Each structure stands twice: as C-alpha cells, then as structure tokens.
Chains A and B, each alone.
With several copies, the nearest count.
Chain A
C-alpha cells in the first residue's frame, strides 16, 4: 500500500498511489495511515485521484481512519473517481466527509 504524504502548512496531504483500496489491502491502508498521521497536523487530506476502485472494506478503513483522527482532527477527501464516488454516495458517507473535487487550493503544486 503506497501512500505518499506531504506537509503543507497546517494541511497534510496523503496521496494513495494504488488503484484499489479493497479487502486485500484495507488493513494495511489503515495501519499506514495511522503511522503517517501520527504527527499533529490539524487537517489531513486523503487524495484518492488514483484510486479507481474502493469496496466496502476500503470504505470501512477510510471511516476508521477518520474516527481515529476525531474529535481533534479531521479527515478530508479529494479527487474521488466516479466509481469511488458511487460507493460514498450510496452509503451516504458523502455527507459525513468533507470532499474536495481536487486537493485544496495552494496544495496542488505538492504533486
């Protein structure tokens, strides 16, 4: 599970580099996210622009990461691809997360 993190002021952008977050790697994803977000950065943005597929295990892992950051810190999402968006919408999780179309302004150079 390759995740690339980049700090930018008070925002930590984590880019998921795999094309799937599924049952085969959900636990690995959760563990790596936990390591990466140990430093106290108030906002964490998970950029999923490269993730073409997310199943319910992957969704569960993203929810778990959000819960681990709460209540002090927030997990925001960006770059949801069509099929990933569908899973968030159907499960109503799109109303639980702050979802950006792209990595928030001023961070786009961080690619």
Chain B
C-alpha cells in the first residue's frame, strides 16, 4: 500500500546510570561508546561526543557530588542529525543555578598557565543548545551534538 501519510520518525537512544566517581565515568563512557548507537557515528564525532560528555560528567563528580555520593543518569537520543544528550544528577545545584561561563584565560608566560578551568570552555565550544535546570531536586544538563558534519 502506498500510503505514507505518517512518516513517523523513530529515534534511537542509549542510556546508562553510573555512580559519581571518576572510574565509573570512564566505564560508563566506554559502555555508551560500545553501543551500536554511538558506534554508528563518524570517528571524529564520536571523539567530540566523548570530550563533551567526559567534561560534563567530571564536573558533576567533582562539584555536584563534592560532599556526598550518588548516581548520574546519562541519556543520548539520536534525533535526525543531532545527538541530544541529557545528564541528570542528584548533587548540589550549580552556583546561582546558572551555567559557568567557561572563558579561556589567555596567559603570556608558562609559569602562569592555567591547569584547570577548561571543562566548561570545551563543553561550550563543542555543543549547541546547552541548557541547565533544576528539576525535582535534581540537576538536568542538556545539549546537542552534531553527528554528521565536522564543525571543529
């Protein structure tokens, strides 16, 4: 039958829940990047996705769960050309409930080079539609990653 009145777009997703801990972040990323969802992305897009997700997760482990332990839930949805990423944690809220700026600090001499603070800069540089909100006592961070054309 030639009826194509409802071109329903099914989308694939992948999800993992990890304890807030640097080794668990590593294993959780490995588990996600082993799924067919992420194996289907071009190599450089996989790389970008891993950087952004790792930075977001490391920040949560370090800052949101600075005082207590808990879980992090990561959901990736492939929507057309975008990988929609949502990260939920039950840790401390973001200071002032707003996203850090993440500016790159330029330094002239080696002895003053920053050894940190690259995290949010990388997330902002590599993602789109970055959004943070507090929902039901949890932090929800979401952003989109382009999965097709190399932008960087």
Q: Within 8 Å CB of A70, what residues of B? A: 110-111
Main secondary structure of the interface of B (DSSP, over half): helix
Which of B49-57, B75-83, B140-148 is found at the contact surface with chain A? B49-57
| Contact across chains for B125 and A90 when beta carbons are under 8 A apart | yes
- Which segment of A4-12, A39-47, A53-61, A99-107 sits at the interface? A53-61
Residues of B within 8 A of A (CB): 1, 22-23, 25-26, 43-44, 47-48, 50-51, 54-55, 58, 61-62, 104, 106, 110-111, 113-119, 121-122, 125-126, 152
Are A60 and B51 in contact, with the CB atoms below 8 A? no
Nearest CB of B to A69, in Å: 9
Which of A66, A82, A89, A91 has its CB near the most chain B CB atoms (within 10 A)? Answer: A91
Closest to A58 in B: B54
- Measured between alpha carbons, how far is A76 from B125 in the docked complex, in Å? 26
A64 located at the interface, meaning its Cβ lies under 8 Å from any Cβ of chain B in the complex: yes
Which residues on A sit within 8 Å (CB–CB) of B152? Answer: 86, 89-90
Contact in complex: A55, B51 (CB < 8 Å): yes
**Docked CA distance A70–B55 (Å):** 28
Given the interface pairs A90-B126, A91-B121, the reply to whether A55 lies near B115 with Cβ below 8 Å is no
Q: Taking A24-B23, A55-B55, A56-B55 as contacts, is the C-beta distance between A83 and B47 under 8 angstroms?
A: yes
Contact A60 B106 (CB under 8 A): no
Cβ contacts under 8 Å, A66 to chain B? 110, 113
| Cα of A82 to Cα of B58 in the assembled complex, Å | 21
Q: Given that A56-B58, A91-B121 are known contacts, is A96 also in contact with B110, CB under 8 Å in the complex? A: yes
Known: A23-B61, A25-B1. A64 touches B115 (CB 8 A): yes
CB distance from B4 to the nearest CB of A (A): 13
Q: Specify the chain A residue showing the minimal Cβ separation from B3.
A: A24
In the complex, the answer to whether A22 meets B26 with C-beta atoms within 8 Å is yes
Complex: A69 Cα to B19 Cα, angstroms: 36
| 1/0 contact string of A17-49 vs chain B (CB within 8 Å) | 010101111000000000000000000000000
B110–A67 touching, CB < 8 Å: yes
Docked-complex contact B113 and A87, CB < 8 angstroms: no
Complex: chain B residue closest to A57, CB-CB: B58
Neighbour of A86 across the interface among B51, B110, B117, CB < 8 A = B51
Known pairs A66-B113, A90-B152, A96-B110; A53 contacts B25 (CB<8 A): no
Given A71-B111, A83-B51 in contact, is the A24-B118 Cβ separation under 8 Å? no
B19 nearest CB across to chain A (Å): 13
Q: A25-B1, A56-B55, A67-B110 are in contact. Are A91 and B104 (CB under 8 A)?
A: yes
